Amino acid sequence: MKNLREFTLTRLQEEIKNLGIPKYRAEQIFISVHRKHAKDINSITGIPKELAAELSAHFYIEPLTLITKTTSKDNTQKFLFETTDAKKGKVKIESVLIREEERGTVCVSTQAGCNVGCEFCATGKMGLLRNLTPGEIVSQVYDINTITGIMPTNLVFMGMGEPFLNYESVIESLKILTDKKGFALPSKRITVSTIGFVNRIKKFADDISENETLSNVKLALSLHTTDNGLREKLIPVSKSHKLPKIYEELVYFYRKTGNKVTYEYIYFEGLNDTDNDVNRLARLSRMIPSNINIIPFHPVDFDLAEPLKTLNKKIHDKIKDSKENSLLNSENLYDFIDRLRNERVTVNLRSSSGVDINAACGQLAVRN
């Protein structure tokens, strides 16, 4: 038995053909599953009962199971789901919906847990439970739409897990989500984030440039510091994936796709905001068209190693003593941004959406 949410249209056509069913039926099934979000075989529209019965002998449709839904003060929503994959075993994952006036962004998880081990990330403290299937990835989007009634306008693969360590499932899910006969989300509204792995960014550039519906998918590098020594403390795997090599691959990505790159940069006060950091970031921003997203360091409920342990406690205390989200109320943060802008760096300050419910960047970890 196979979950119909796993299949791209091309793969579904092959499956249907092997069963001796006319090829055009695959398109009908795909539209019902991925555009209309059919919850079971009998909900598939436009097919006779006999075909539905035959499909039921080979396939099923399995939405995720919602465990809890939590809403933050800023209306961000976090969803705790349990997967239902019979072969791989059930695991719990978290997804986030960031709600703005004319924009609804779903933050998608690609793994249950993560084995990259970033020192600042709660998900990394979980370790890796397993990779998610393409069906489990797309189901987060479909089920959040069903639960809230909000049609997502943007997707960011920035939830639990490292997308490039579950590469094939991520690519398959992107093909499904951008297919014009299915969910039909324009690829320019999708961002895939990675810590950075040698040879993987090049492959990603090749794969999306060769597929018209994926060609505008954006890439974000979780940079966080331009200092190799500090980066290796914060992101242990970067010892094997040095920044100079990653920069080479980013240049390749831009030349291959023409897509601007985003650098995600968590602000660690006193650690990655020196004049040297500003100068290096300025040089980096001139290498290829890019922008830098500055993200406040969000506190996590785990014991961290120095130098983040002291900083984590300081921010916990700051939030505890404030009635508002105080993470953006830092003169040093705005001074850092001003210094970057004075060097003509394109900088965006990302808000801490959902920080009060542990739904902000770096905070996702199954706690229930």
User: Annotated catalytic, 114?
Assistant: no
What phi and psi, each to the nearest 5 degrees, are found at residue 214?
-105, -5
The single residue of 107, 118, 121, 361 carrying the catalytic annotation is 361
Identify how many contiguous H helices and E strands the chain contains and give both numbers: 12, 14
Q: What are phi and psi of 354, to 5 degrees?
A: 80, 15
Cα–Cα distances (Å) from 293 to 28, 97, 247, in that order, read 41, 19, 17
DSSP 168-209: HHHHHHHHHHH-TTTT---GGGEEEEES--TTHHHHHHHHHH
> What string of DSSP letters covers 248-307?
HHHHHHHHHH-PPEEEEEEE-TTTS-SHHHHHHHHHHHTTSSEEEEEEEPPP-SSPPPTT
In sequence order, the 6+-apart residues with CB closer than 8 A to the CB of 56 are: 41, 42
Active site residue 306: no
Maximum Cα–Cα distance across the chain: 70
Residue 329: CB atoms within 10 A of its CB come to: 12
Q: How many CA atoms lie within 13 Å of 286's alpha carbon, on the beta-carbon side?
A: 9
* Nearest Cα to Cα of residue 264 among 222, 218, 230, 219: 222
Which residues pair with residue 265 across a beta bridge? 294
Judge contact between 108 and 141, C-beta under 8 A.
yes
User: CA dist 29 to 9, 59, 84, Å?
Assistant: 9, 11, 21
Active-site residue, selected from the candidate residues 94, 119, 162, 264: 94
User: Which residues are catalytic, by number?
Assistant: 94, 361
